Amino acid sequence: MMRPVLSLARRLGAAVLAGAAALAAAVPPVQAAAALDTLQLAPGFRIELWSDRVPDARAIALGARGTVFVGSRQAGKVYAVEPAEDGRRGGRVYVVASGLEQPVGVAFHDGDLYVSAIDRIVVLRDVERDLAKPPKPELVSDAFPKDKHHGWKFIAFGPDGKLYVPIGAPCNICDRGDDYAKIVRMNADGSGREDVALGVRNSVGLAWHPATGRLWFTDNGRDMLGDDGPGDEINRVDRRGAHYGYPYCHQGDLPDPEFGAGKACKDFVAPVRVLGAHVAALGLRFYTGTQFPAAYRNALIVAEHGSWNRSKKSGYRVMAARLDGDHIVGYEPLVDGFQKNEQAQGRPVDVQVMPDGSLLVSDDLAGALYRISYGG
C-alpha cells in the first residue's frame, strides 16, 4: 500500500540565472514543506526538496567531488549544484554553461563534463576545479543531425569508457534511413563512432547493469494511435547493432499501420518490458546503493515524465523495476502522484543514486531536484 507524504515544490516563476554567478543556497526542506503537495511513496520511504533553483531540470550526472550537474532543455543552461555538508539538500547553484541548444544530456568522465546539444557534443575540462569560473566548452563532435524534433540527447559513459548517444527519430513516425532512430557510441575524443542499437524511436535514458554490464534503455512509443497504444518500452542490448523495430513494429507485437506492411515483428528485438502507453519513460538507473531495502538492490529505477496527448493522463511517477536475472519480474511505483485531477504538479525526468544511497529525482516542470531516502 502506498502512503501519502509531503511532496513537490511549487512551480518556479521564470527565474533568470546570470552567467556563472553563484545563486543563494537552496531552500531548506523544513521551509519547503508548506509548499509541497501530496505524493504517495512505497512504505518506509520519504521525499524532500533537495534544490528548487534548477529551472527546467533534466538529466543528472554526479561529479567526483559530489557536485550534481543538471542539464536543461528550454533553459539552454547546464547547472552545477554543490551539496550541503550533510548531503541531504543542495547548496549553491552555478551555471557552468549557457547559450547551448537544448543541452539536456550531461555525463561526467575523468574529471570532465560532457554536454549534449542538438547537433553536437561539447566538453568542459576539469569542471569541478572552480565552478564559479567554469572552463569554456570544447567541441568533441558535431557529426549529428540538426533536427530539433527528438533532437535533445541523454548521454552517458558506459563501462567500456565510451560515450553513448541516442539519435532520435525527427518525427512522430517516419523512415529517414540509417542516420536516425538509433543509439551510437564513440571514444571520449569523438573518434571511433559506431552503431549500438537500431530501430530506437526516442531513448532518453541509458543504464548498465552493475553485474552483467549490459546496456538497458528506455524508448518512447509513437503517438496518434489512440490512448492505449503503443506502450513505451524498456529494452536491453544483447547484441550490438540489433534492430528494435521502429518504425515498422512497436512494443514487440504491433505492426505500424503505415510502415509495417511486409515486416514481421518477430524479426526485431522484443522489449524486456512493455510499459503503459504515453507514460514517457525517460531517465533510468540501476539502484546500486545500500540505503534502500535489499529488495531494491540492482533494481531499475525509471522516471515516467507523463503523457501529453492522452485523454486521461498516465505516468507522472517514479517506478522500480525488480529483476530476476535478465527479466523484469515486478514494476511498481516508488513515488506516485505527480499529477492530481488531471493537472500536472511535477514531471520526473531523471534519477541519480547518491553516495549515501539516497536517490535524486529531477523535475523540469518545477525546476527542482528531490531526494528520496529510506528510514530515518
DSSP-based three-state secondary structure for 87: coil
- What pLDDT is recorded for position 357? 97
Nearest of 370, 285, 373 to residue 89 by alpha carbon: 370
Q: pTM of this prediction?
A: 0.91
> Residue 117: which region, alpha, beta or left (left: phi > 0; alpha: psi -120 to 50)?
beta
Give the mean pLDDT per block of 10 residues along the chain (376 residues): 40 32 34 54 94 95 97 96 90 96 98 97 98 98 96 97 98 95 98 98 97 97 94 98 98 97 97 97 97 97 94 94 95 94 92 97 94 90
DSSP per-residue string spanning 346-372: --EEEEEE-TTS-EEEEETTTTEEEEE
Residues 6+ apart with CB under 8 A from 177: none
Residues 116-139, buried b or exposed e (16+ Cβ, 10 A)?
Answer: bbbbbbbbbeebbeebeebbebee
CATH code of domain 3-374? 2.120.10.30
DSSP per-residue string spanning 248-293: TEETTTEE-TTT-TT--GGGSPPPSEEEEET--EEEEEE---SSS-
- In sign, the C-alpha dihedral spanning 105, 108, 113, 119 is negative
**Parallel, antiparallel, or unpaired: how do β-strands 249-250 and 242-243 relate?**
unpaired
Nearest of 97, 213, 125 to residue 164 by alpha carbon: 213
The CA-to-CA distance between both ends of the chain, in Å, stands at: 19
DSSP per-residue string spanning 283-341: EEEE---SSS-GGGTTPEEEEE---SS-SS----EEEEEEEETTEEEEEEEEEE-SEET
> Residue 322: which region, alpha, beta or left (left: phi > 0; alpha: psi -120 to 50)?
beta
- Residue 362: count of CB within 10 angstroms of its CB: 31
